[in-house]
Amino acid sequence: MECEFPTVNSNMDEIKEIFNTVKTIAVLGLSPDATKDSNKVAAYLQSVGYKIVPVYPKGETILGEKVYSSLAEIPFPVDMVNIFRKPNALDPIADACIARGDVKVFWAQKGIVNNEAAQKARDAGMSVVQNQCSMVDHRSLQV
């Protein structure tokens, strides 16, 4: 697998603004396994007051929230999409965010970079964060 350096990315001031404005976060690839990073990060974000929306191919609830099998199925506005998927999955995810029309933030977690998808999201008006952990950034910014 080829690793990319994130050429499309928000700075820490923009990330602080993201945390101060978003309320609802769809977590793509949120595992029901409490030992997985996606679950730990989502549980943390939930514990500090964000509405978490699990997007996972199976299951009824994760972290006490209804699971949706795709971003398109979520019947209410989503402010941010927090992605725990492989980099090659980001292109269709960017398309799904654009199709929704309500996503303000496209966030690819630590180790996940796809500059083409990130540029597509940015061109559609979204803030973009790549290769950064939302839990680590939230804690470090003391939002």
How many domains, the chain? 1
Q: Is residue 19 part of a domain?
A: yes
Q: Is residue 23 part of a domain?
A: yes
Residues 41, 44, 50, 52, Cα dihedral to 10°: 50
**Using an 8 Å Cβ cutoff, are 28 and 95 in contact?**
no
Q: Is residue 79 part of a domain?
A: yes
Q: Is residue 61 part of a domain?
A: yes
- pTM exceeding the 0.85 threshold for the entire prediction: yes
Provide the strand spans (E) within the chain: 24-28, 51-55, 61-62, 65-66, 80-83, 105-108, 127-129
The predicted pLDDT at position 3 comes to 64
Q: Is residue 1 part of a domain?
A: no
Range of the domain at 101: 12-141
Those residues of the chain that have pLDDT short of 50 are 1
The predicted pLDDT at position 7 comes to 74
The predicted pLDDT at position 6 comes to 73
Domain with residue 61: its CATH number is 3.40.50.720
Q: Is residue 107 part of a domain?
A: yes
Q: Is residue 3 part of a domain?
A: no
b vs e for 64-91, b when ≥16 Cβ sit within 10 Å of the residue's Cβ?
Answer: eeebbeebeebeeebbbbbbbbebebbe
Q: Is residue 4 part of a domain?
A: no
